[in-house]
Structure 1
Amino acid sequence: MIPMPDQLVEQASERLLASAARLSRDPMTEIDWEAPVDDLYGLSPEWSTLYGTAYWEELSEEQRRELSRHEAASVASTGIWFELILQQLILRDVYSTDPASSEFQWALTEVADECRHSIMFARATGKLGAPVYRPSFATRELGRLFKTLAVGEAAYAAILVAEEVLDVMQRDWMRDPRVLPLIRQVNNIHVVEESRHMMFARDETREALVGAGRTRRWTSALVIAIAACVIVKAMVNPAVYANVGLDSARAVREAAGNEHHRALMRSSCAGLMEFLGSTGLLTGPAVRIYRRVGLI
């Protein structure tokens, strides 16, 4: 007998709950928050927005490390912002779901994971000695609109975009001995736990698209691409450059044209684009948006 869709959802949720029981981490106890912050990078230097530019070559080693710490703090702050949106989307989605179901319990488990991640990112940002880097007012308001209106595949595939991009970055950073041990620990915990969150987002996206017509897929593809564009642009706040004593206008200009960084972003999104294509969410207009922001 072939399982019905609801049975498949329950089975997938049971597997995710079992994984969470085995692999969930507690950053409050597993990270040494009192350890001194060494004179190392906040992220792998190759992932800095200026790496590979003429401006990067002019920076001292100290300036490069300081820039990387502020960039890491900005990425973490953007992660907190989107995780808050994610939590609200999930809670709204399971509002009327049977509390006894594995689907409901897994959803709350993911929200609990994201709460811990947000606290972890907040504490790590404080340890980096950087100011608070919030997305712009317009971006925050777009996020408010998105969390209110997005449903189904538009919600879950947009979640997947943010998680996939961060995942590839953080896999590099957590293995890099040039990166602060604290940040490597933070990234390791996040990568381990986000792997099941990405599996969940992919399953939910596929389920939401069952029976979806061409117009709906076209519309959702456009919404997801716009969300991806907003998320990626928000990752590194332009204020980081001025805050480490750089010429902000020049830094923004060189970062925008940095082909090395764009190539890293494209490679980090290869699996994501393959998934979106397999679900009919990689339409012509969506591809143009992804190309403009450097994800294709």
Structure 2
Amino acid sequence: METATPDTASPETASQLAVRLSKASCKKFYDVYNAFDWPERLQEGAWCMPPELISLYGTPMWETLDEATRHKLSLHEVANMFSLVLQGERILVQGLAHRLYSTSNNREITEYLHHFLDEENKHMVMFGEFCHRYIGKVYPEKKLPIPKEMDRGQEEVVFFSMAMVVEELGDFYNVLIGRDERCDPLVREINKVHHIDEARHLAFGRLYLAELFERYSPSWSPEKLASFQEWLAAFLKACWADYYNPSVYRDAGIADAYDVRQAALAHPATVAHRQRGAEKIVGYFLKTGLLAEQPAW
């Protein structure tokens, strides 16, 4: 008697995933200009960044701050987080537009990049609106290192690696803030909306970046691969360091902002926080071979 051979489904490709994500983006399409109610003032007594996520939490400096300063720092820290993601997405929008209808993208991926780009633009609108309304500015872009000489395909791998880092770190905060009832309702809603969109972006990015790395990295020299892995670890570390912003500390009324930053970055409590926040992205980078070892925080 002949036995049936069970079907073995092939792994989903980035192109196939892009089709599903495009449909989801169409279904969840929204008008960012009418999606939020913008109160004149944020809710009195509410946190913007939960205290456990504030960059100074767990350090000796935190213990010296009164409650009013902690809440002011909370507002500026969430504005800094929004600014960091906004500035990262600004670069991402430029790169996505450049990649539309390029020879490296098929029709399905190009269609999804249109949605990707549209949603990133919306995120910049909502983050920029929050920052201008409630602290009067967007914190400026920080210059982060980019490899100078790249082998075939490395520019694509670098671009999508950068996107993954910016989005994964931001999403770590989005999830925790969005479900924290101590936080201002508008702040929670912005984080929830961003997370919903980013869940699709990250799903696509993980699969597409892995495909790109698998396609191109075998042709890189061992030295070039090692150089890329060193750059990625340094980029991840630099992105985390931007969450410890001396301008934020000054705006909250904290003196000796640069010294405070250096002490905070070195404190075991904040090192542990960064390890937790980057656990998912580092695990992905190690699994795919994009990183060779755990970064030193």
| Fold agreement, TM-score > 0.5 | yes
Which deviates further from its counterpart, 183-192 or 212-221? 212-221
Does structure 2 retain, via aligned residues, the 8 Å contact 1:77–1:121? Answer: yes
Aligned partner of 1:135 in structure 2 is: 141
Tell whether 2:19 aligns with 1:10: no
User: CA 1:191–1:223 in 2, change beyond 3 Å: closer, same or farther?
Assistant: same
Aligned partner of 1:160 in structure 2 is: 164
Tell whether 2:264 aligns with 1:258: no
Residue 96 of structure 1: CA displacement? 2.3
Alignment of 1:244-283 (within 5 A): 244-247=252-255, 248-283=257-292
Residue 2 of structure 1: CA displacement? 9.7
Aligned partner of 2:95 in structure 1 is: 89
Aligned length: 282
- In structure 2, the residue corresponding to 1:151 is in which secondary structure? helix
Return the alpha-carbon distance in structure 1 between the equivalents of residues 122 and 57 of structure 2.
31
The superposition leaves residues 168-217 of structure 1 with CA deviations (integer Å, 9 ceiling, x where unpaired) of 11111111122111111110000000001011111121111224226354
- Which of these residues, 213, 217, 221, is aligned with residue 209 of structure 1? 213
Letter of the 2:116 partner, please give it. E
- In structure 1, the residue corresponding to 2:130 is in which secondary structure? helix
Does structure 2 retain, via aligned residues, the 8 Å contact 1:47–1:261? Answer: no
Residue 122 of structure 1: CA displacement? 0.3
Return the alpha-carbon distance in structure 1 between the equivalents of residues 106 and 288 of structure 2.
30
Letter of the 1:258 partner, please give it. H
User: CA 1:204–1:223 in 2, change beyond 3 Å: closer, same or farther?
Assistant: farther
Return the alpha-carbon distance in structure 2 between the equivalents of residues 98 and 275 of structure 1.
23
- Relative to its length, the structure with more helix (as a share) is 1
Return the alpha-carbon distance in structure 1 between the equivalents of residues 147 and 120 of structure 2.
18
The superposition leaves residues 221-276 of structure 1 with CA deviations (integer Å, 9 ceiling, x where unpaired) of 23322322232222342111122211224422332223222222211221211211
Which deviates further from its counterpart, 217-226 or 270-279? 217-226
Return the alpha-carbon distance in structure 2 between the equivalents of residues 125 and 143 of structure 1.
27
Return the alpha-carbon distance in structure 1 between the equivalents of residues 58 and 8 of structure 2.
53
What fraction of aligned residue pairs are identical, expressed as a percent? 24
TM-align CA RMSD: 2.8
Letter of the 1:118 partner, please give it. M
Question: What is the TM-score when the length of structure 2 is the normalising length?
Answer: 0.84
Residue 128 of structure 1: CA displacement? 2.4
- Which of these residues, 22, 26, 32, is aligned with residue 27 of structure 2? 22
- In structure 2, the residue corresponding to 1:31 is in which secondary structure? coil
Return the alpha-carbon distance in structure 1 between the equivalents of residues 258 and 272 of structure 2.
23
Does structure 1 retain, via aligned residues, the 8 Å contact 2:147–2:228? Answer: no
The superposition leaves residues 137-177 of structure 1 with CA deviations (integer Å, 9 ceiling, x where unpaired) of xx16x57989xx96222221221111111111111111112
Letter of the 1:192 partner, please give it. I
Letter of the 1:243 partner, please give it. D
**Structure exhibiting the larger radius of gyration computed from Cα positions:** 2
User: CA 1:124–1:222 in 2, change beyond 3 Å: closer, same or farther?
Assistant: same
- Which of these residues, 214, 227, 243, is aligned with residue 219 of structure 1? 227
- In structure 2, the residue corresponding to 1:282 is in which secondary structure? coil
Does structure 2 retain, via aligned residues, the 8 Å contact 1:154–1:223? Answer: no
Task: List alignment gaps of at least 5 residues for structure 1.
Answer: none
Does structure 2 retain, via aligned residues, the 8 Å contact 1:49–1:258? Answer: no
User: CA 1:239–1:143 in 2, change beyond 3 Å: closer, same or farther?
Assistant: farther
User: CA 1:236–1:252 in 2, change beyond 3 Å: closer, same or farther?
Assistant: closer
Residue 17 of structure 1: CA displacement? 0.4
The superposition leaves residues 39-68 of structure 1 with CA deviations (integer Å, 9 ceiling, x where unpaired) of 222211111111112221121111100011
User: CA 1:267–1:279 in 2, change beyond 3 Å: closer, same or farther?
Assistant: same
Residue 34 of structure 1: CA displacement? 3.2
Aligned partner of 1:37 in structure 2 is: 42
